[in-house]
Structure 1
Amino acid sequence: MKKKLCLFLVLFINIGLFSQSKDTIYYNSEWKITNSSKYNYYLIKENDKKNGAFTAYYKSGEIRCNFYCNEINYEDIINSKFESKFTAYSKDGNIIIEGNYENGLKTGKWIYFSDSGIKDTEEVYEKGILNGPYISYYENNKIHQKGNMLNGKKNGEWITKYYDGGLKSIYNYKDSLATPFCHLCNEYKKCKAVINNLFSKNSIQTSWICNDTLAYKQIDEGLLVTFNKETNSNFYIDIEVPWKEYDDISFEVTFKNTENSALEYGLVWNETLIETTYNQFMVTNNSEFVIYNLEDNVYMGNKFDKTESLLLGPGAENILKVSTKGNQVYYSINGDVVDTQKITNFEGSLFKIMVYNNQNLDNESIILKNFIFKDTEEYSSVENGLEPGKFEWTGSGSGFYVSNDGYIVTNYHVVENAYEVWVKCKQDGIYQKFKAEIIQKDVSNDLALIKITDAAFKSLKEIPYSILSGTAPLGSEVFSLGYPLADVIGENVKFSSGNISSLSGMYNDVTNFQMTVPVQSGNSGGPLFDKNGNVTGVVVAQLNKELYESENVNYAIKSNIVKNIVDMVPNPSFNKKKTKMKKLTQEEKISLLSDYVVMIQTF
């Protein structure tokens, strides 16, 4: 009797389970029907129910979402005719989506949250299409981005902010295409008004005119300018910039080679037609650059030189850039400064892109991809007067870690007059900025020890280099990593190499040595490495080439002097196995060491 009863119960349970399985619909993460072994969510089907309230569950049994349907489609649930309120939950029970449907289409405000319940995004729908305000948030509840959608596309002004609430950018859109004019601000409230004009045929253009409309055609990549024996020997574009009084500016153009690009091309700036004044920066396919200067119709000379920065192969791109800081002008090719000069005033408001076919070659061509013009702005004029004045660092330099908890060596003159010090460095593979304090000064040797004090800073792994106690021999190969001219050629680490050319500095200073490694403003405080990747000095100065009529005479503080200030660090964490770096190639050393070289910005 007991055996029959047990058999009956087992049969009853199996029938029940089988029945439940038939009424359970399984879905994958994209809400496509799947089988019972490969599912993320499930929904229990009740007697062929077609409308009303429904609940879907996670595989582990928690509620995934509650919703209403006028007509549910179990096989294609995404296309069911949803109605009224829709709510989705995380496994912890936090609301992650809430909004409303009308006739199967999203309507009104929809709010999205992270799994922990922090608001992420707000959107507004009209008949299933994004129409209205859009706002996204950081996890600290500050706004990340806000703007307006029209018929599912970005339109009008869109503002992006930093994690701390500071303004990052303002763009204007038309049907999700960005217009060329925008405002950009960095974390330190240094702002630029920017024209970024893409010449591609599908982009929105700013105002420009050219001398020959038959010499180019618009393609996906930009303007394809082509010369032949019947057309003009030159092509130029006049750019209309909507400002007349400039502070610090930059003007850059990206050129792309074709199979036949034996042309001379470049930029013209500071031009005024009334007084016949201009400055011209041109390059040739012979790896040469030329700088012409004309002022009040008087020829002021030129600079002609070879360069290794120019890329000549078919398909290669070259970015030519002119930047000003005060009365100093920087000319760069692909991020490398090839020349500098001083100009007493900027008279012209005209800018040109020039292409010459001086050799009268047939079927020569080049692609103009874009031009970017930037002019310094007041932060107050960008963000409605929240703070007055211009916000930019007063100085910058380089430094390097001497402990894994944030101690850094740099030059004293980098932080000498600072009331605030910030360090920009890599953490988790991305650049971040942290507040720092001056810990120790060695004025006589021009050294300083600073420490990152920001609680968000994460300790580093063991530092891969050592600081040498001896002096590198005369003629030995050395290289530097640092952040020269960061506000001109970018805030990313730069590599330079050379040799030790003297074991003493200026006036036979035995604490320094002379080297041929190029040095620019911003290199100060950066490490000088030997060929094995260990610190043999700290970059400190460049001999004034105008005053002493010198070329490439630069100095570094010897590593045995640097060790004196490093010895004050409580827990130095250098690599004690000096053979580790020897096994790496030069490229591998640079890649590894770059993460331990920082940019220092002072206010």
Structure 2
Amino acid sequence: MLWDAVAACLPFQTLCPWAVKALQCSTTSCRRLVGIVICTSFQRHQENVNLTLAANFGYLLRNFMEQLGMSTTEFQLSREPSSFAWERTIVVIESAGQQGTGTFIRVHNKRFILTCAHVVGQNIETVNCRAADREFQSEVIWCNPDSDKPFDLALLTAPQDVPERCCVRLARSPATLGQMVYNAGFPYYVNFSFRHDFNPSIFQGRIIKCDTGAIMSDGSVQAGQSGGPMFDQNGCILGVCVSNIKLDDVVYPNINTAIPICDIRNTLQQFARTNDLNVLSNLVASPDVHRVWSLEMPPIRSKL
């Protein structure tokens, strides 16, 4: 009976430790225990985090058997099919002790990494990156010099041998209210000292507000997901996740703001054609967009 339990549980040891779900067996109608829930919210760096943390049952059982001196067998479980392989399109970025997320994009046959300026930091020339199949250093092409003004963007070099299938297409249509979106990134858990640590997460949500220069969704966004992509249902990048909402020291992870790709698409295309760095200064937004990101009330133009 113990071996039956081992055979049932060990195939799932490659799952992300906090991922908890019941998986339908392919040969039987039973469901397998893959994790034991520890908590659904906690605090880290004085911020509330809404993530389900669980102990991976396969790891627990394997460790228990090893302590008993019993032999174990490892299995590899293939991933479930996906309409688009989103994991290979994102990278985790480490810069000056900070971490965030970036996205491989392809514009006019040139490859770049798109992320947030606050992920890169000021006066930084190179950052460390980790993708699904490689580690590399990336040069900073442009970073918004004023962190207090939108857009909070940075553009980095990408290895030119990155396959086209790893590069995300830029969305052509603007976001619409109620549209289904998927926010991807690396919330909290990437350890650059452990070279096999590459476990991105993706959260489903809907567009709850569209404004000039900003879109909001109710999909979860945590620290570490800054600069990550907001995908549409076709796998195109619809926005760049910047932050969740913080009011009076209370963080609301399910209300977050992203930069619309449609607002920066033309600038990225023009730069890809010309290689003129001055073009990227157009990524510094107008005062009207600044008011949106500051959550300020628009000026009253008429009292009629």
**1:551–1:412 Cα change, 3 Å:** closer
1:534 is displaced (CA, Å) by: 2.0
Indicate the residue corresponding to 1:311 in structure 2.
Answer: 22
Query: Is residue 186 of structure 2 the alignment partner of residue 483 of structure 1?
Result: yes
| Counterpart mapping for 1:390-539 below 5 A | 394-403=97-106, 406-417=111-122, 418=124, 420-426=126-132, 431-442=133-144, 443=146, 444-452=150-158, 458-461=161-164, 465-487=168-190, 491-504=198-211, 510-539=212-241
Pair 1:421–1:555, CA change in 2 (3 A): same
Alpha-carbon separation, structure 2, partners of 1:402 and 1:368: 41
Residue 411 of structure 1 and its aligned partner are, at CA, apart by 0.8
1:153-212 deviation line (CA, Å, top 9, x unaligned)? xxxxxxxxxxxxxxxxxxxxxxxxxxxxxxxxxxxxxxxxxxxxxxxxxxxxxxxxxxxx
Instruction: Please give the per-residue CA displacement for 1:219-248, whole angstroms capped at 9, x wherever unaligned.
Output: 55899xxxxxxxxxxxxxxxxxxxxxxxxx
Structure 2: distance between partners of 1:534 and 1:466: 5
CA displacement 1:459-486 (0-9 Å, x = unmatched): 4226665323442111111112322223
**Which whole-Å deviations, capped at 9, do the CAs of 1:16-62 have from their partners, x for residues lacking one?**
xxxxxxxxxxxxxxxxxxxxxxxxxxxxxxxxxxxxxxxxxxxxxxx
AA matched with 2:154 = A
Specify the SS of the correspondent of 1:560. helix
Tell me the secondary structure at the aligned position of residue 249 of structure 2. Answer: helix
Contact 2:178 2:206 in 1 (8 A): yes
For residues 514 and 470 of structure 1, the distance between their equivalents in structure 2, rounded to whole angstroms, comes to: 16
How many Å separate the matches in 2 of 1:434 and 1:560? 29
Contact 1:538 1:562 in 2 (8 A): no
Alpha-carbon deviation of 1:256? 5.8
Q: In structure 2, give the amino acid aligned to 1:531.
A: Q
Match of residue 234 from structure 1: none
Unaligned runs of 5+ in 2: 11-17, 24-29, 65-93, 192-196, 275-304
Paired residue for 1:73? none
Which structure's relative contact order is higher, taking Cα pairs within 8 Å and 6+ residues apart?
A: 2
Q: Flag the 1:399–1:335 CA change in 2: closer, same or farther, 3 A.
A: farther
Q: Is the 8 A contact 1:318 1:333 kept in 2?
A: no
Question: Partner of 1:126 in structure 2?
Answer: none
Q: What SS does the corresponding residue of 1:402 show, helix, strand or coil?
A: strand
Checking the alignment, whether the CA contact within 8 Å between 2:220 and 2:253 is kept in structure 1 is no
Distance 2:20 2:248 in 1: 24
Any unmatched runs of 5+ in structure 1?
A: 1-217, 224-254, 258-306, 337-366, 372-390, 505-509, 573-603
CA contact 2:229–2:241 (8 Å) conserved in 1:
yes
1:370 matched to 2:63: yes
Alignment of 1:274-289 (within 5 A): none
Matches within 5 A, 1:156-195: none
Contact 1:405 1:460 in 2 (8 A): no
Deviation at 1:441, TM superposition (A): 2.3
Query: How many residue pairs end up in the alignment?
Result: 213
Is the alpha carbon distance of 1:310 and 1:421 closer, same or farther for their aligned partners in structure 2, counting shifts above 3 Å? same
Q: Offset at 1:368?
A: 4.2
Distance 1:556 1:458, change over 3 A: same
AA matched with 1:421: V
User: Aligned in 2, Cα 1:493/1:549: closer, same or farther, shift over 3 Å?
Assistant: closer
Instruction: Give the match's secondary structure for 2:131.
Output: strand
Q: Indicate the structure with greater helix content.
A: 2
Q: Could you say if the C-alpha distance between residues 317 and 439 of structure 1 is closer, same or farther in structure 2, counting changes exceeding 3 Å? A: same
- TM (norm. structure 2) is 0.56
| Counterpart residue type for residue 20 of structure 2 | S
CA drift of 1:438 comes to 0.7
